[in-house]
Amino acid sequence: MWGIALQRHSEVALARQLYQILREKMTDGQLRPGEALPSTRELAKQLALSRNTICEAYEMLAAEGYIISSQGAKTRVADGLQLEKAAPAFTENTPPAAPAIAADFQTGRPDIRQFPRHLWLQLLRKATNELSPQLWGYSGPAGLPVLRREISAWLYRSRGLAAEPQDIFITAGATQGLKLLAGEGQAMILEDPCHSGLRQVLQNRGISIYPVPVDRQGLQTGNLNRNGACAVYVTPSHQFPLGGILPASRRAELVRYARENGLYLLEDDYDSEFRYAGPPVAPLYSLDPQQVIYIGTFSKILFPALRIGYVILPRRLQARWRHLRTYADVQNPPFAQAALAEFLQNRKLDRHIQNMRRLYGHRRHILLQTLTAMFGPGWSAWGDTAGLHLAVEFPGMRFDDMFVRHCQSKGLRLATVETHCLRKGEHRDKLLLGYGHLEPAEIKQGLALLRTAFPA
Amino acid sequence: MWGIALQRHSEVALARQLYQILREKMTDGQLRPGEALPSTRELAKQLALSRNTICEAYEMLAAEGYIISSQGAKTRVADGLQLEKAAPAFTENTPPAAPAIAADFQTGRPDIRQFPRHLWLQLLRKATNELSPQLWGYSGPAGLPVLRREISAWLYRSRGLAAEPQDIFITAGATQGLKLLAGEGQAMILEDPCHSGLRQVLQNRGISIYPVPVDRQGLQTGNLNRNGACAVYVTPSHQFPLGGILPASRRAELVRYARENGLYLLEDDYDSEFRYAGPPVAPLYSLDPQQVIYIGTFSKILFPALRIGYVILPRRLQARWRHLRTYADVQNPPFAQAALAEFLQNRKLDRHIQNMRRLYGHRRHILLQTLTAMFGPGWSAWGDTAGLHLAVEFPGMRFDDMFVRHCQSKGLRLATVETHCLRKGEHRDKLLLGYGHLEPAEIKQGLALLRTAFPA
């Protein structure tokens, strides 16, 4: 019968198989409009199937309007079904296999091997078990109240940042915070250099970028004379990537500038927990909570797969934020939020940060020591003794894309400061070395590889 | 000494308290530029604190540039610190308390009480335990390969949809899929009525909307004559909110139209699992996988807090999608993805859907029965026997915002079809009754309340 071949052992029900075969015959014109189909009894006999199966297939075809059956009349093929076969899929070229990575100096990577996974699983299990069943539905764009309270308390005890829980909004990470907030204007002032990912976020939104240069102390606030921007993006606690702490006088200047021009300050505090020569730097936020939007993340403190961050918002932006989050991705899942609240509440976070600060500080020391041992005195470190990466200047060197590819061919992954520059040419002699995720032996091995990529 | 009051029992370290107090005195001008600070020894004595505490506070102030200390000289206040106090926060008016909800006919709510939470927790624990430690870092914007494979297999066995795992991309839910895809053009053709949330997503992106009316069978493809749109959004399996199944001839017309005009078809398959008079309807996707973008979600099948959905993308959109997702919110957390893969792999999903289909089908029956009992014959149901809600027409009635508020005052939450209309006035006589999440007794109680809101 019409060359119908059914697969008796397929996971797809026979009725659906039959439906698909008949449908295809109608759309490609083998069965023509108005043509009569055999009765269900007849087709069942021909195909050695139960009549129920045929009825089910015919019902599917009828429900979707492929066939028309009326009481007492023959079942016929509907009009207007014919459709040329779809063109075959264009096949993407498979990218060439990347060489194996022997040493990876990527920035912004915490050491996830050190995270107390077992403890986290316990907390997650407990939190999920105890979560109100209602929260398995929708729980709102702002985040779980218990987590907002615990973040508020932690920010206060760890860095003296006083923010009410209702001003704290949970995000799916810092990138989301930036993306949602950046969409609210036409232009933004950026530090130059600043993270190239941020540039991507803004470019995707069609937002104009005004670069202001950065020196060893961070944003050069004396050069803030652009018009038309709606916000200044700034990393005052530890400039990315150069590492400066923004001095108090520039902070005051920045806040005055924002007030006078009606701009928001987007303070991205991506890793200020990890300062090795004193407590975390006080946030810009404290100077004016109605002018500063504070963006925080747990990706670097805990682990990136958590996908939890937060923003602290001026009151007049909060209703808008709820709206934007609702129509972006609705909300965070509540389970990890509840576990994180517990992690904060019983001070496990404070302890973890303390442990990691010691560990990362030691690794930084190893990095600096090994640089001296392998490269002599001909280099200098930029920035404060903080964070998970180091910007290193090698005077006279020119680190371009070719150099990066040359390193890659040796199995060495790293980035240049120049990658993060808006105006090119200023920082060609600087490399970025992410060390947080590397054991001392890995740091040494990586630097040895790097040495071989340098001119002899 | 300068009226410094420290709280000895605070969680905030004494050094940080001192730092904050001194900083405030500098920014508000009580301590003037150039003014000398007491030595650490002297201040320690005055405040009865250890000298270490004072040193730590001074180091914080120095690191951030509030004070300048040089060998042998007195420590002095830096220049340019003065800043007017921030204006007090504008306080949002607290919205008036909403009346308690006695009956809630919201659409799109699954019954989360029925979800096998205990089983899910077991799977989540197992999956998280077994997850490769690497996946606690970044695992990429496409989603876990194991989940993409399981979704591919499930789509094939449950509705004959053949998609390669590498064409399936995990999302944080259908809203995110729509938001990221909608941003790629200037204008979109929408069914009218269609979900008001989608309109919000598009309006937030500044995208123009061309409405095309819907009848009992879904989108009126004969009216597709707009230019300049980049895509048609369509719910062919179960039109939202009116409930029609798009007939085969209109499907063919739609695909031809999309091919001729170089448009994508965004097929939102939000609840096709729940059809009570036969198996799920075949997706439009099967007709042309390079023209159709298929959007699926597990929010309605499992539970909304999961925040996992997926899109099936034509090959030429995949690189762009990876880019957009990376710079939106990076990726989904891997834990629930791994648990869901297991839930699919061992057919727990198939069984859950089967159970829920039976349950929801029964509830729909109760709803229809109770409507007849309470409202007599003067109403008619729209759409196919499917989904979690029903559109009901009451000829002669005019359901406006006042009616909705009147219902709210009685503790009854529901929406009108008109809420979801782009061109107003066509569907004033229709209400939407979400029933999936309601027990039979709740349905009856809700309809009894609704009866009292009607004219006697």
Whole-angstrom distance, CA of residue B43 vs CA of residue A243: 32
A16 touches chain B (CB under 8 A): yes
For residue B1, pLDDT over 60 is answered with: no
From B196, which residue of chain A is nearest by alpha-carbon distance? A327
Confidence of residue A96 (pLDDT cuts 50, 70, 90): low
Burial of B3 (0-12, 13-18, 19+ CB in 10 A): exposed
- This model of the complex carries an ipTM of 0.90
For the stretch A339-384, pLDDT in tens is: 999 999 999 999 999 999 999 999 999 999 999 999 999 999 999 8
Whole-angstrom distance, CA of residue B266 vs CA of residue B318: 15
Confidence of residue B93 (pLDDT cuts 50, 70, 90): low
Is the omega angle on the peptide bond into residue A116 within 30 degrees of 0, that is, cis? Answer: no
Please report the pLDDT score of residue B90 as a whole number. Answer: 59
B436 touches chain A (CB under 8 A): no
**Are A27 and B78 within 8 A, CB to CB?**
no
Please report the pLDDT score of residue A82 as a whole number. Answer: 86
Confidence of residue B184 (pLDDT cuts 50, 70, 90): confident
Please report the pLDDT score of residue A226 as a whole number. Answer: 65
Question: Which residue of B19, B249, B311 is the best one to mutate when testing the A interface, meaning the one whose CB has the most A CBs within 10 A?
Answer: B249
For residue A101, pLDDT over 90 is answered with: no
Residue in B17, B79, B248 closest to A81 by CB: B248
Please report the pLDDT score of residue A91 as a whole number. Answer: 58
On average, the pLDDT of chain A sits at: 92
A/B interface, count of CB pairs below 8 Å = 299
Confidence of residue A154 (pLDDT cuts 50, 70, 90): very high
Which residues does chain B have within 8 Å of residue A125's beta carbon, measured at their own beta carbons? Answer: 121, 125
Which residues does chain B have within 8 Å of residue A325's beta carbon, measured at their own beta carbons? Answer: none
For residue B249, pLDDT over 70 is answered with: yes
Q: Which H/E stretch holds residue A267? A: strand A264-268
B90 touches chain A (CB under 8 A): yes
Tokens of B347: 């057919």
From B82, which residue of chain A is nearest by alpha-carbon distance? A252
Span B47-73, average pLDDT = 88
Residue in B56, B248, B316 closest to A65 by CB: B248
Phi-psi region of B399 (alpha: psi -120 to 50; beta: other; left: phi over 0): beta
From B259, which residue of chain A is nearest by alpha-carbon distance? A86
A87 touches chain B (CB under 8 A): yes
Q: Please name the residues between 311 and 340 in chain A that touch chain B, using a CB distance below 8 Å.
A: 314-316, 318-319, 323-324, 326-336
For residue A93, pLDDT over 60 is answered with: no
Please report the pLDDT score of residue B94 as a whole number. Answer: 59
Q: Which of A9-13, A178-182, A403-407, B443-447 has the lowest mean pLDDT?
A: A9-13
Burial of B311 (0-12, 13-18, 19+ CB in 10 A): buried
Cβ atoms of A270 and B102 within 8 Å: the answer is no
Confidence of residue A209 (pLDDT cuts 50, 70, 90): very high
**CA-to-CA separations, A369 to A123, A242, A366, B263, in angstroms, rounded:** 39, 19, 5, 59
| Gap from A381 CA to chain B (nearest CA, Å) | 17
For the stretch B344-393, pLDDT in tens is: 999 999 999 999 999 999 999 999 999 999 999 999 999 989 999 999 99
**Are B281 and A89 within 8 A, CB to CB?**
no
**Are B329 and A173 within 8 A, CB to CB?**
yes
For residue A1, pLDDT over 60 is answered with: no
Which residues does chain B have within 8 Å of residue A9's beta carbon, measured at their own beta carbons? Answer: none
**Are A179 and B327 within 8 A, CB to CB?**
yes
| Gap from B336 CA to chain A (nearest CA, Å) | 10
For the stretch A277-325, pLDDT in tens is: 877 888 999 999 999 999 999 999 999 999 999 999 999 999 999 999 9
Cβ atoms of A168 and A317 within 8 Å: the answer is no
% of chain A beyond a pLDDT of 90: 75
Question: Which residue of B75, B327, B345, B388 is the best one to mutate when testing the A interface, meaning the one whose CB has the most A CBs within 10 A?
Answer: B327
| Gap from B183 CA to chain A (nearest CA, Å) | 9
Confidence of residue B281 (pLDDT cuts 50, 70, 90): confident
For residue A92, pLDDT over 60 is answered with: no
Please report the pLDDT score of residue B265 as a whole number. Answer: 96
% of chain A beyond a pLDDT of 70: 97
Please report the pLDDT score of residue A86 as a whole number. Answer: 79
For the stretch A57-89, pLDDT in tens is: 998 898 888 999 887 788 899 988 888 887 766
Which residues does chain A have within 8 Å of residue B248's beta carbon, measured at their own beta carbons? Answer: 23, 26-27, 61, 64-66, 78, 81
Crossing angle of helices B51-63 and B40-47, in 10° steps, is: 120
Span B71-81, average pLDDT = 87
Please report the pLDDT score of residue A94 as a whole number. Answer: 59
On average, the pLDDT of chain B sits at: 92
% of chain B beyond a pLDDT of 70: 97
Q: Which H/E stretch holds residue A391? A: strand A389-393
Q: Domains in chain A and their CATH numbers? A: 14-77 (1.10.10.10), 103-109+353-453 (3.90.1150.10), 116-350 (3.40.640.10)
Cβ atoms of A148 and B152 within 8 Å: the answer is no
- More confidently predicted of B235 and A272: B235
B94 touches chain A (CB under 8 A): no
Which residues does chain B have within 8 Å of residue A247's beta carbon, measured at their own beta carbons? Answer: 64-65, 78
Question: Which residue of B22, B136, B175 is the best one to mutate when testing the A interface, meaning the one whose CB has the most A CBs within 10 A?
Answer: B136
User: What is the 3 state secondary structure string of chain B?
Assistant: CCCCCCCCCCCCCHHHHHHHHHHHHHHCCCCCCCCECCCHHHHHHHHCCCHHHHHHHHHHHHHCCCEECCCCCCCEECCCCCCCCCCCCCCCCCCCCCCCCCEECCCCCCCHHHCCHHHHHHHHHHHHHHCCHHHHCCCCCCCCHHHHHHHHHHHHHHHCCCCCHHHEEEECCHHHHHHHHHCCCCEEEEEECCCHHHHHHHHHCCCEEEEEEEECCEECHHHCCCCCCCEEEECCCCCCCCCCCCCHHHHHHHHHHHHHHCCEEEEECCCCCCECCCCCCCCHHHHCCCCEEEEEECCCCCCHHHCCEEEECCHHHHHHHHHHHHCCCCCCCHHHHHHHHHHHHCCHHHHHHHHHHHHHHHHHHHHHHHHHHHHCCCCEEECCCECCEEEEECCCCCCCHHHHHHHHHCCEECEECHHHCCCCCCCCCEEEEECCCCCHHHHHHHHHHHHHHCCC
Whole-angstrom distance, CA of residue B167 vs CA of residue B182: 19
Confidence of residue B92 (pLDDT cuts 50, 70, 90): low
Span A28-40, average pLDDT = 88
Please report the pLDDT score of residue B226 as a whole number. Answer: 65
What's the CA angle centered on A432, arms B324 and A244, to 5 degrees? 95
**Are A305 and B176 within 8 A, CB to CB?**
no
Strands A208-215 and B380-382: unpaired
B162 touches chain A (CB under 8 A): no
Please report the pLDDT score of residue B95 as a whole number. Answer: 59
From B23, which residue of chain A is nearest by alpha-carbon distance? A248
A65 touches chain B (CB under 8 A): yes
Please report the pLDDT score of residue A277 as a whole number. Answer: 85
Please report the pLDDT score of residue A74 as a whole number. Answer: 87
Question: Which residue of B219, B281, B307 is the best one to mutate when testing the A interface, meaning the one whose CB has the most A CBs within 10 A?
Answer: B307
Please report the pLDDT score of residue B89 as a whole number. Answer: 67
For residue B97, pLDDT over 80 is answered with: no
Whole-angstrom distance, CA of residue B216 vs CA of residue B246: 9
